[in-house]
Amino acid sequence: MVAFYLIGAISSVILNKKDSICSYFSFFSAAAGALIGAIFSISVIFGETFYLTPSQDSYLKFGFFVDKLSAFFILVISISVFAVSIFSTGYVKEYFGKKNIGHLGFLYNIFILSMIFVICANNAIMFLILWELMSIISFFLVVYEHEKPETRKAGFIYIVMTHIGTGFILLSFMIFAGASGSFSFETFNAAGMTMTPLLKDLAFIFAFIGFGAKAGIVPLHIWLPYAHPAAPSNVSALMSGVMIKTAIFMMIRVFFDFLGASGSWWGYVVLAVGTISAILGILYAVVEPDMKRMLAFSSIENIGIILIGLGASMIFFASGKPIISAIAAIAALYHLLNHSVFKGLLFIGAGSILYSTHTKNIEELGGIIKKMPLSAILILIGVLSISAMPPFSGFVSEWLTFQSLLLSFNLNNNFAIIMLSISAAFLALTGALAAYCFLKFFGMVFLALPRSEHARHAKEVNIPMLAGMGIFALLSILLGILPVYVLPVLDRITASFIGTGAFSQSISAGTFGMISIPSSQGISILTPVLLAILLILMLIPAIILLINRKTWQPNYETWGCGQPISTARNEYSANAFSKPVQMWFKSLYRPARETEVTYSSPYLKESFKFESRIEQVFEQYLYNPVVDFVMVKSRKAKLIQTGSIHAYLGYIFGILIILFMFVIAGGS
Amino acid sequence: MIAQIIFQLFIIIALAPLLSGIMKKVKAFFQIRKGPGVLQPYYDILKLLQKDSVVSTNVSWIFHAAPVVSFVAVLAAGLLIPIYTTQLYLGFAGDLIAVIYLFALARFFTALASLDAGSSFGGMGGSREMFIASLVEPALMLSIFAVALNVGSTNLGFISQTVSGLGFDAMSPYQILAFVALFIIAIAETGRIPVDNPATHLELTMIHEAMILEYSGKQLAIVELGAMIKQLLIFSLLANIFFPWGIATGGAGAAEYVLALLIFLIKIVIIGITMAVVETSTAKWRLFRLPELMSISLMLSFLAIVAVIIVKGG
């Protein structure tokens, strides 16, 4: 697996003069690596933990280990990489002759490799090095189209935020290292049990902030809507679908494995942050006109949903209910898997639209369902999945999340019941707004009349791109109707960090693809496959009865109160479509609008310009003051930077003297 | 088993227009009009089914598929909801949450189709419909929580069976609070005044009508019938979650089923009349006042959860 990625990376450097050969070599070897990765991870899930320790030296003991949890994440990565790589062979044609494909292929392969190594690392120092490597390579990928100024800005914000995150991770790991006296993750495991509650709390907070910055939790999310749209679409699919999940992986690792999820309030923190991220992420997504930014905001939302499941799981675990805790964790992991699939699909779908129309502004698209019929169907599947429509994949994981929140009634803790119920209400709002958002996306991009020249000249994308989307779409459907085969696998994984499997004790997957979750009094059952069969069985007669050849013949223009509607200017715009939400959450969006009217005579308007903007509250009120403060302070600090080498030598000398004094004082 | 499933489908399709007709008649009575006969909705649908469709030149296959998908999604939801018996053969296919999401699927496709013809009316209707759906959802989920917390399951057959087994003991504060919350939601979901006006064709006020403005003929027939069925199903949810008494719980003969069917009919007619009274006694609200109405519902369902915790002694 590693070899294939390396071959992909090296061959793309060697072949970087020949665009097409280079792209085939790098992306197909990535796809091959992904296939092997998937097989390997499945073998670990059903088999034994895999160890690889090249160095047994007591000072620099490092190695790799792949347990069930890491194997699951390798599986998620491999699935996405496989589909995205196939898509990429078609997509990079866009860059032929304009950009260096060798660079892209090299970075792409190394990026995947770094993610896999991060998952497998068995030592804090090695982990941090690999984590940095992953961040920096993804930074290079973000600024791949560096000739655009906004891309450079995106790259800058990304690298700053990710380093703030790494700083906190470092702090957290130092606490563990201080307690265990070693940097090996195995000793962290033991140290977590013996640490004082205060140290545990600190380690939890630092780790949550540090990994949260990578996962994109609110308010550390600000880099996501810049970085993900700026990167090439195949890379954004991986960043959004997979890279931010490595942070979730480490959260599970640290909270459950190292810290034993012992703090009673930690779960509430994770739950609350998850709920806020979910709702704010989708609220920004609804009003966003740039489709890749919209998808990035929606990633924040989905990370929120995953964290709701994880938070609930931690609450149950800390209350001594491991079985319910396992159910909530299964819900979180299921959503994580689903999200990587449908978000991958939607990102490469957005890439296809961009490829074919050269715009990512929803307002400029429209009507391309007639030009790109196959892409439209595949993207519709992604849209239905992310909107949690039965029988597609998002529905199953949201159902599981709701059910696990409902199981709070098994706790004798009123606070927990109320918190989890409120969280469920927000989750419901999030789900409804997600449907709103993606309905707008699909309706505005694909339906009605084209709103610009860009959309008028759209054409269907090439076969590798369709194949990439097709793999994701197929998986979305399968994950939606056959959770009965997925859940036992997820149960093995959650059992590895919670200690108890939920299967056969509580949740069960029975005949006809039935999932049942019993509570104290009753039982809740869902059979997605039967729902799908029912829908299809009833669709067939309905279609035969109601749709005949004649109704397919369009024969009149759209009703416009007697006036023909012939231009796209009469259509409802994307902004107008999301206006009600904008009005509803006025206080959050703080919309700023400007109108500019010029008159040719007192009665005739010559031109009318209307502009409206949405404020990014977090940037405005949280980050700008901090940035300003740092700028002012650093300007003051500039005073000691004279630029003269003598002065610098003087500083070094001064510090040396102070250090010597410390050493002498310590020695005596 | 198959017979029971088909019979339930038949009942749903057959009764839905009748309920609609009765509600129109009641409204006419309060407006001191004679109004069309209660069978008028049947005539309308039969008439529409015989007509050809006028289809816009702008539309894609979504426009043709949407009414069928929506109709089928609503019918599938109908198989998960107890109508006259709690013994649902397909009850294990999905629970209350699945019903909500099937309705959401139906709504999604209707709203998608509204954008297809490129008319501003459609876009406006779709936008408002999705807006109201987002308003409704949190309150809906909380009231489901209140009910499920009481019963321990989200499967509807089980809920009805348990509540009807409790007899009149089931009438507790949380049931009443959750019922009122769900009643407000039902107003929004069935598109009634003060949320939406089913009788209007005025651009500023219509929501559902604006979405389906482009449909005609057979397609309009199934859109209309789908809306009526959805209304019937929401009323039966109200009836059989909160007042399931008289519903057949299995084990008895045909006589019990006939009786249960009659009782069901009485229950939904009472709910229908109540809805018509609410409709005639209020005016339509501005769209941006609706969040207030929905926060009332949200608060009530939240109180219902708190009440369950207090009553059951947490």
pLDDT digits (tens, 9 = 90+) for A12-50: 666 666 677 777 878 888 888 888 888 888 888 887 777
Q: Which two tokens stand for residue A51?
A: 């160890």
**Who has greater pLDDT, B73 or A552?**
B73
Q: How confident is the model at residue A452 (pLDDT cuts 50, 70, 90)?
A: confident
Share of chain A above pLDDT 90, in %: 34
Q: Which chain A residues are within 8 Å of B92, Cβ to Cβ?
A: 512, 514, 525, 527, 530
Q: Tell whether the torsion through CA atoms of A407, A409, A412 and A413 is positive or negative.
A: positive
Strands A592-599 and A50-55: unpaired
Asked if residue B72 lies in contact with residue B105, where contact means CB atoms within 8 angstroms, the answer is no
- Shortest distance between the Cα of A40 and any Cα of chain B, in A, equals 35
Contacts of B103 (CB under 8 A, 6+ apart): B73, B74, B77, B189, B230
Q: What is the rounded distance in angstroms from the CA atom of residue A177 to the CA atom of residue A187? A: 8
Q: A551, B218: Cβ pair inside 8 Å?
A: yes
pLDDT at A503 over 80: no
Q: Is A132 exposed, middle or buried (0-12, 13-18, 19+ CB in 10 A)?
A: middle
- Shortest distance between the Cα of B127 and any Cα of chain A, in A, equals 5
Q: What is the rounded distance in angstroms from the CA atom of residue B129 to the CA atom of residue B287? A: 10
Q: Which chain A residues are within 8 Å of B58, Cβ to Cβ?
A: 367, 448-449, 554, 557-558
Q: B298, A559: Cβ pair inside 8 Å?
A: no
- The predicted pLDDT at position B132 comes to 92
Q: Which two tokens stand for residue A332?
A: 């979180």
Q: Is A530 exposed, middle or buried (0-12, 13-18, 19+ CB in 10 A)?
A: buried
CB-nearest partner of B79 from A534, A547, A576: A534
Residue to test with chain B: of A423, A531, A553, A561, most B Cβ within 10 A: A531
CA geometry: angle A99, A105, A110, nearest 5 deg: 135
Q: Which two tokens stand for residue A288?
A: 């966003």
Which range among A347-351, A384-388, A522-526, B28-32 shows the weakest confidence by mean pLDDT?
A522-526
**Mean pLDDT, rounded, for A526-542:** 83
Q: Which chain A residues are within 8 Å of B118, Cβ to Cβ?
A: 366-367, 447-449, 558, 565, 568, 570-571
pLDDT at A58 over 60: no
Contacts of A410 (CB under 8 A, 6+ apart): A321, A324, A519, A520
Segment B72-128, tens digit of pLDDT? 999 999 999 998 888 877 778 888 999 999 999 999 999 999 998 888 888 889 999
- Residue B47: name the closest of B225, B229, B231, B191 by CA: B225
- List the helix and strand counts (H, then E) for chain B: 11, 0
Segment A324-343, tens digit of pLDDT? 899 899 999 999 999 999 99
- Residue A542: name the closest of B261, B83, B229 by CA: B229
Which range, A46-55, A504-513, B66-75, B280-289, is most confident?
Answer: B66-75
Q: How many CB pairs under 8 A join A and B?
A: 268
Segment A203-258, tens digit of pLDDT? 999 999 999 999 989 888 888 888 888 889 999 999 988 999 999 999 999 998 88
Q: A560, B119: Cβ pair inside 8 Å?
A: yes
Asked if residue B66 lies in contact with residue B110, where contact means CB atoms within 8 angstroms, the answer is yes
Q: What is the rounded distance in angstroms from the CA atom of residue B81 to the CA atom of residue B233? A: 7
H or E segment at A313? helix A291-318
Tell me the pLDDT of chain B averaged across its residues: 88
- The predicted pLDDT at position B314 comes to 47
Share of chain A above pLDDT 70, in %: 92
Is the link from the previous residue into B194 a cis peptide, with omega within 30 of 0?
A: yes
- Shortest distance between the Cα of B260 and any Cα of chain A, in A, equals 24
Q: Tell whether the torsion through CA atoms of A383, A377, A465 and A469 is positive or negative.
A: positive
Helix/strand/coil for B169: helix
Q: How confident is the model at residue B214 (pLDDT cuts 50, 70, 90)?
A: confident
- Shortest distance between the Cα of B114 and any Cα of chain A, in A, equals 9
